[in-house]
Amino acid sequence: MLRGYYTAASGMLAQQRRQEALSNNIANAQTPGYKQDQATLKAFPEMLLQRMETQNVPTGRNLNKAMPATIGSINSGVYVQETIPDFSQGDLQETGITTDVALINGNMPDENGGLFFTLQNADGEERMTRNGNFTVDGQGFLVSNQGYYVLDQTGNPIQTNGMEFNVTEEGTLQIDGQNIPLGIAYAQDANALIKEGENLFRIDEDADPVMDARAAAGVTFSIQQGSLEGSNVDSMRAMTEMMEAYRSFETNQKVLKAYDISMEKAVNEIGRVR
């Protein structure tokens, strides 16, 4: 009986976490470069049930021998194992703003590879993003919409001096006779990156380091100025999955209520002392 409580409760918790991930996806459906999260559900290990019974052994002592009978397996619940970002390319949206740049995936030799712009956060640490919604701050530096410095290929902030610039398809910023390559990072396993807030990713300490995309063998990409990569969230599909998660939560809730009623009868009626 109590095992049923835990099984139904684990299902409710799993669907709640799935609902939270889907809600976050829908909330960021219009965020440039946002990569939707996918919640993966996994069942707890199955348990084998056996019925313990005895059988009389025909001896002078009438011994009893244990004879376990296999009933079958039972599942003990489900949980959200992890939420994994989907790094598929989002649709391009033309803005006509020269500081907006979209990173377009080309060839990537690794199945889970990913390309990113490189930024420097307020603590001086390197972060990665797909959001190319950049602007120029009061000091002339190219910054992200969070105010973080956009880095060049050598890892230094890009100084524009407030001047107009062009960005080539190869990702080179051309300004006042200078050619400054944008810092484009390549992660061989993008799933190993840790997703932070503000549409940023950081490198896991135990994962392989990212590399310069231009130096990575077989990696190609292109940059489109005056455009942004949109979110890869499919709003209609996300809404459908939210309804599915809600129905699953509701079903587990009803199962939990049924167990509660059965337990109440067992305590108040079957176990009543007359």
What would the pLDDT profile of 58-102 be if each residue is shown by its tens digit?
A: 666 666 666 667 777 777 788 888 888 999 999 999 999 999 999
User: Residue 159 burial by CB count (10 A; 0-12/13-18/19+): exposed, middle or buried?
Assistant: middle
Structure tokens at 178: 């200078």
Residue type, 240: T
Domain span including residue 172: 89-229
pLDDT at 59: 60
- Residue 113 maps to a domain: yes
Output the pLDDT for position 64.
66
Does 93 share its domain with 206?
A: yes
User: Is residue 274 very low, low, confident or very high in pLDDT (cuts 50, 70, 90)?
Assistant: low
In terms of domains, do 110 and 197 share one? Answer: yes
Whether residue 104 is found in the same domain as residue 212 = yes
pLDDT average, residue stretch 9-22: 92
> Which amino acid appears at position 131 of this protein?
N
Phi, psi for 87 (deg, rounded to 5) = -95, 20
Together in a domain, 96 and 221? yes
Q: Is the pLDDT of residue 208 over 80?
A: no
Determine contact, residues 158/141, Cβ cutoff 8 Å: yes
- Phi, psi of 237, deg, nearest 5: -65, -40
Q: Which of 169, 19, 152 is nearest to 80 (CA)?
A: 19
Q: What local confidence, expressed as pLDDT, does residue 62 receive?
A: 64
**Structural tokens at position 221:** 């990409």
Tokens representing 157 are: 């902030």
Top pLDDT among 1 and 251 is at 251
Q: How many domains does the chain contain in total?
A: 2
219 and 252 in a single domain? The answer is no
Quick one: 174 and 206 in the same domain? yes
Residues 100 and 221 in one domain: yes
Phi, psi of 195, rounded to the nearest 5 degrees: -85, 125
Indicate if 126 and 24 belong to the same structural domain: no
Same domain, yes or no: 177 and 207: yes
Task: State the pLDDT confidence band at 265, using cuts at 50, 70 and 90.
Answer: confident
Query: Is 64 part of a structural domain of the chain?
Result: no
Q: Is 25 exposed, middle or buried (0-12, 13-18, 19+ CB in 10 A)?
A: buried
Q: Is residue 225 part of a domain?
A: yes
Nearest alpha-carbon partner for 191 in 113, 247, 123: 113
Average pLDDT over residues 112-133: 94
